[in-house]
Structure 1
């Protein structure tokens, strides 16, 4: 059965080109793709990108991997990454990412994915590979990058000193102070001296220095 061949892709997004190659013996492969979409064999993620439907899929969907594929270059960061690293208590539904390209929001049957623009010189700072228990790997911000991106991209963040930054971290974001005692300050420093929101990021650095 041709549909069974799709299970080989597990939970990895499939491009239109891959599907056309798989359907090379069909005279009208796009009609077959449309049929699969109608029957739920394929789930549309965006134009030209699909996920195997639940019945034919092997493994759990890794939302960060979907986010990486939907819009790039991008890296999962901000609230979703903070939750992933156990820094904030809330469960985050929207998959938040940063990109050196313009901001964008993509919604599909799998979920909601948002992309915020960061300066190109900071995009890859603190990025790392993470993976699920099933071994699915994806690009995600480390805890330091996720925190700096949050400070960088929070609009109207009024920080007049250490006390106000502490309120933002511990009251607004509800970050566990213990998780901040282990962060790599050298990565925070890269953000702090980048020239972008220097007052806020330098204050963040001072707060973190006191916790270590």
Structure 2
């Protein structure tokens, strides 16, 4: 069995790779060889993705996003598309974090992170298991929408009608998906003091959809 096979489709650190190469006189040379052969992808200094070898397993982009920069969880446009709330896939994996904003360009694509206040960040996080060995954290549909609304710059929203135009016409969000969201959770977020006016307006809009 290949030394990398047990890590197929996973993200590993330089230290983890060195631990499985303790029998080698030059473990760093072996790591460079795996990179040259395309069996490893360098994500950033000291962090790698193990390319699946004839297993059909994939590399989970949300899993990579969680481990590339943290604490973080996937949210915003990537999560909205994941839940079917917006119709078009996005060109990057979008996440939120309690640290400063960051962006990474990797062989797997671009990963971006936007900062949220700690108390707001911690709400509405789901733990999603894709396979027996792949799991990651992602915002709930309500939280992903709130994060997007909170972090989109230069929005001038004064009415339910204006928000409806933004979500349904400009973003072409799925109205059936929006009707399934929980306005009570959104009101809880509004009470945290971060972009409260936008959150309250969103809760009003959600409630109007059920009337």
What range is the shorter-chain TM-score in? over 0.9
Structure 2 partner of 1:110: 108
Cα distance in 1, alignment partners of residues 202 and 183 from structure 2:
10
Contact 2:120–2:194, Cα closer than 8 Å, also in 1: no
> After the TM superposition, which of the residue ranges 84-93 and 53-62 deviates more from structure 2?
53-62
- Runs of 4+ in structure 1 off by over 4 angstroms are none
Cα distance in 2, alignment partners of residues 150 and 42 from structure 1:
33
Contact 1:88–1:173, Cα closer than 8 Å, also in 2: yes
Contact 1:43–1:53, Cα closer than 8 Å, also in 2: yes
Q: How many residues align?
A: 210
Cα-to-partner distance string for 1:107-162 (whole Å, 9 max, x where unaligned): 11011100000111111211101233677321001100000001100001100111
Unaligned residue ranges in structure 2 (runs of 5+): none
When residues 123 and 57 of structure 1 are mapped into structure 2, their CA distance, relative to the original with a 3 A threshold, is: farther
For the aligned residues, what is the CA RMSD? 1.6
Cα distance in 2, alignment partners of residues 53 and 132 from structure 1:
17
Contact 1:180–1:208, Cα closer than 8 Å, also in 2: yes
Q: Where does 1:136-147 land on structure 2 (aligned, <5 Å)?
A: 136-147=134-145
From 50, 56, 62, the equivalent of 2:60 is: 62
Shift of 1:53: 2.8
1:192 and 2:190 matched: yes
TM-score normalised by L of structure 2:
0.94
Cα distance in 2, alignment partners of residues 187 and 9 from structure 1:
38
